[in-house]
Homo-oligomer: A and B are copies of this chain.
Amino acid sequence: MDKILRVDTRKRRIDVLPVTEEETRWGGRGLIAHVLLREVPPTCEPTGRRNKLIFASGLLADTNVTTVGQMSIGGKSPLTGGAKECNIGGGAGRRLARLGVRALIIEDTPAETGRTDVLEIRAEGSCLVEAPELKGKLVDETIAALRVKYGSKVGIFCIGPAGEMVMYAAGIACPDDSDVQIRFAGRGGLGALMGSKGIKAIVVDDTGSTYKAPIHDKALLQETSRWMAEALLKDPKTENRNTFGTPAILALASASGLMPTRNFSSGTFEKADDIAGERVREEILARGGQTGKPCVTGCVIQCSNLFPDKTGKKIVASLQYESICLLGSNCGIGSLDDIAEMNHFCNQVGVDSIETGAAIGVAMEAGVIPFGDAEGAKDLIRQIGQGTWLGRIIGHGAKLAGRVLGARRIPVIKGQAIPGYDPRGVKGNGVTYITSPMGADHTAGNAFETLKYMDVLKPDGQVEISRKLQIRAALLDTLGLCLFVRPPFVKRPEQFGNLLKGRYGWDLSFHDVQLLAWDTIKTEREFNERAGVSERFFPIPEFMEDEPLPPKNAVFDVKMSDMGSMWDGGFTPLDDF
């Protein structure tokens, strides 16, 4: 990956720049962090001229290592105001890597608002094309129209009407090659950032690419890569993920009392059985859907699914734990069909299902519609796409909706909705939400696994565990690997070094590879500190300190002084992964 594309949306000019030696060391999330700190004023208006939308490949993106097709997308987050990175599957990321594009950086805003451009990226050159016919189109409609024009061999990123209207809950969609799954860079409002640049879609066509990844040691890379795939396939966690997908954890989440329910007023849902992973699989199999689908070509874990209606027609793909939880239990909705349809509507208007579920939850607490009102909730999501006043309120996320609609419990940290793990029920996650540069984002360091080996209701040790989980997540996000590849590396963390040595020839111990992760976090923290998005200004929502969470009845009580000093000592290497 030898080039960086810079798109100036005001001058409508695209520059192709060689990747520098320094930039070669930055991958995925780390590359986004460095570009932000180097080029974006930390206090800039997130949907203004000075912010940049960055698509970055992980360090291993142009190899055949399993799961690496995931793409990092980031910028200064409209919701948190800090550094943001989301990584997603779909068919476009791998194509960018095959074109040798390490990063695509979209700059400035068009002089006039309301543009609808398509950014075409091709081997022979890239350009911005006006596409007024796509204005206001839903995500499915947009993809279908692009397929007519560009065919089935291109990769696509696009936004729905929510992104075009610069709503802060908007995400960026990326279909797989068959347009069955729509993957979403949901968190942080990156769809609003793309909308502010006037770009409705990006089409990536790698036909005719002459780029060849300069693999330093093919044998080593191939051997390590094969070991990784085989070890993953043998691991029982992989089997569980393949069988049930992310909804696998739902029953335990509810039983443990950490699953957001009715706007975070309970940690357990009486209809958990009806929406749990087992039930998801059962319905999918009975209706002729699919489990065990990959989100990127070449993934051996294949944790995704296709959830059909009773006639076998797809409602949504993939139906995931976070969506079931935030759109389901958190709204008091216990029917998988309703939840899948809500999820589908979110994907159509182009908003994050987590942020939107949390926003609907606060709207329900505020009395806009009652808890459990699935039809009302669907209508609210439709209204986001229509841009009604109420739709705009919901479409800007839980914090704004809670304030405008008058809810008291607003489950956000750094302006971003808390995902499917109530911080009172699994305190390590609370620490991650507060201390991670990403804000309330479980992918930055999910302590769900700590249920198995520590007391998740006590404050003790949570800071330590979150730090460890955050380094782990940043490491994978920087290499461009999925969070689910961990199992084989637990016993052999030195294999990360072998992957990088195979690709680049670098000699890195496990400790050195961790330094790449630490560099990512440190750079993000520096950006956030300058942006005013330090953990000390964004504590836990007060109701989580004041109201014990049934049924375990814990409040969140990890001290800010402990969390605030979490990284004070700098980097402490992990012994194991």
Q: Which residues of A contact B (CB under 8 A)?
A: 43-45, 48-50, 113, 165-166, 168, 388-390, 392-393, 396, 400, 403-406, 408, 410, 531-532, 534, 536-539, 541-542, 546
Q: Chain B residues near A390 (CB, 8 Å)?
A: 389
Q: Which of A43, A390, A403 has the most CB of B within 10 A?
A: A403
Residue in B404, B408, B532, B546 whose beta carbon sits within 8 Å of that of A393 in the complex: B404
Q: Chain B residues near A536 (CB, 8 Å)?
A: 43, 532
Residue in B50, B410, B531, B539 whose beta carbon sits within 8 Å of that of A43 in the complex: B539
Cα–Cα distance between A542 and B408 once the two chains are bound (Å): 33
Nearest opposing residue in chain B for A50, CB measure: B542
Cα–Cα distance between A50 and B43 once the two chains are bound (Å): 28
Q: Chain B residues near A43 (CB, 8 Å)?
A: 536-539
Query: Copies of this chain, how many?
Result: 2
Given the interface pairs A532-B534, A536-B43, the reply to whether A48 lies near B542 with Cβ below 8 Å is yes
Cα–Cα distance between A71 and B464 once the two chains are bound (Å): 50
Q: Chain B residues near A538 (CB, 8 Å)?
A: 43, 532
Residue in B166, B400, B534 whose beta carbon sits within 8 Å of that of A406 in the complex: B166
Cα–Cα distance between A79 and B150 once the two chains are bound (Å): 47
Cα–Cα distance between A405 and B392 once the two chains are bound (Å): 8
Cα–Cα distance between A166 and B402 once the two chains are bound (Å): 11
A-B contact pairs, 25 of them (CB 8 A): A43-B538, A45-B410, A45-B541, A45-B542, A49-B542, A49-B546, A113-B406, A113-B408, A388-B389, A389-B389, A389-B390, A392-B393, A392-B404, A392-B405, A393-B393, A396-B404, A400-B400, A400-B403, A400-B404, A404-B404, A531-B537, A532-B532, A532-B534, A532-B537, A532-B538
Q: Chain B residues near A406 (CB, 8 Å)?
A: 113, 165-166
A389 CB to closest chain B CB, in angstroms? 4
* 10 A-B pairs closest in CB distance: A532-B537, A389-B389, A389-B390, A392-B404, A48-B542, A45-B542, A532-B532, A43-B539, A43-B537, A166-B406
Extra pairs beyond A43-B536, A389-B393 (18, CB < 8 Å): A43-B537, A43-B538, A49-B542, A49-B546, A113-B406, A113-B408, A165-B406, A388-B389, A389-B389, A392-B393, A396-B403, A396-B404, A400-B400, A400-B404, A531-B537, A532-B532, A532-B534, A532-B538
